[in-house]
Amino acid sequence: MFLITGIIIAALFLVSTSMPFLSWVLPYYKIKKLEKADLKTKIIVNIVALAAIGWIDIHFLVTYVGVFISIEIFYYILKKYGKNIQYFDKIFIISLLIGTGICIYIYFNRVTLNAGFEQLKNLYLQKTTFSQYEVDMAFKYIKNNFTYLVFAYLNMTVFLVYYFLHKEDFFGWEVSYLWLIPYICIFFIGKYTSFGGNLVTNILEVLKIVYIMYFMKIVANILYEKVKKQSLCFVIGVFLGLISPEFAFIFGALASGIKIKIVKS
């Protein structure tokens, strides 16, 4: 059981890292499979998984421990000690903690990572039909918005983990309006001081994410009153949130302080 589960986890790690939209599969499987297991079982399974992943490429262990095991650990901590914390707040807290850790790691390894970034850029130029201008623009966007992209990826991952683990009460999930306080403070700092730039812009975009996710739930909830198919309503809510993030943020932020009741006609 230990060996098979560990190998499955290693295989799901490869899937999760090669296809970002499936990044939730690994933490979901581990929590679902091992949630009721004792500590000894969890440790042994993780040792097997670490050995299998390290055998493939030892550098993968940083991602496995720093991202996927961290999601699992924070999930259990908030489940035990954060009973009064709303689901969307838990998702955002986990993403902030892990994302901050990733940003610190990247900062202290920026020289090596920048060299790898340039190598990847050259590889795209050699192996694809994109022009120099197109590749430069794409990589410039990634570099300027890297902080936001890291947190967006993590929020998507943790959000989907929680959704598939607790989708039976998804429509009851709530969020705190208190995330608006740092957003407003940073907005005015960026507007009226010399501390503007990409970092402030990225932080503001990160703080919007929690209310965009909340907007997705509201849309899904409204549609469910008519359609009665939760999965379809969820997909539509996610789609609308992605195509109109600014509106989703404004609506979600306003709704975070207002109890919206759907009145059937």
Question: What are all long-range contacts of 163-168, with beta carbons under 8 Å and residues at least 24 apart?
Answer: 163/234, 164/24, 164/28, 165/28, 165/31, 165/32, 166/87, 167/230, 167/234
Q: Span 224-233, mean pLDDT?
A: 90
Task: For 121-149, write each residue's pLDDT tens digit.
Answer: 888 777 777 778 887 888 888 888 989 99
Q: How many helices (H) and strands (E) does the chain have?
A: 13, 0
Look up the pTM and report it. 0.90
What is the predicted pLDDT for the residue at 2? 67
Amino acid identity of 37? A
Percentage of residues in the chain having pLDDT higher than 90:
58
- Least reliable range by pLDDT among 102-116, 145-159, 171-185, 243-257: 102-116
d(CA 94, CA 161): 12
Radius of gyration for the chain, computed over Cα atoms and rounded to the nearest angstrom:
20
Closest CA to 49 of 97, 12, 78: 12
170 or 192: which carries more pLDDT confidence?
Answer: 170
**DSSP at 66:** I
Q: Is the pLDDT of residue 207 over 60?
A: yes
What is the predicted pLDDT for the residue at 259? 55
What is the predicted pLDDT for the residue at 260? 46
Mean pLDDT across the chain: 89
d(CA 155, CA 206): 9
Residue 262: band (very low, low, confident or very high) from pLDDT cuts 50, 70, 90: very low
d(CA 243, CA 17): 25
197: left (phi over 0), alpha (psi -120 to 50) or beta: left
Reduced to 3 states (helix: H, G, I; strand: E, B; else coil), residue 83 is coil
What is the predicted pLDDT for the residue at 218? 95
- Which tokens go with 13? 């790690």
Reduced to 3 states (helix: H, G, I; strand: E, B; else coil), residue 58 is coil
CB-CB contact of 147 with 199 (8 Å): yes
d(CA 170, CA 192): 39
Q: Is the pLDDT of residue 113 over 60?
A: yes
Task: For 21-78, write each residue's pLDDT tens digit.
Answer: 899 999 999 999 988 888 888 889 989 999 999 999 898 899 999 999 999 999 999 9
Tell me the CA end-to-end span of the chain in Å, nearest whole number.
Answer: 54
Burial per residue of 26-65, b for 16 or more beta-carbon CB atoms within 10 angstroms, e otherwise: bbbbbbeebeeeeeeebebbbebbbebbeeeeeebbebbe
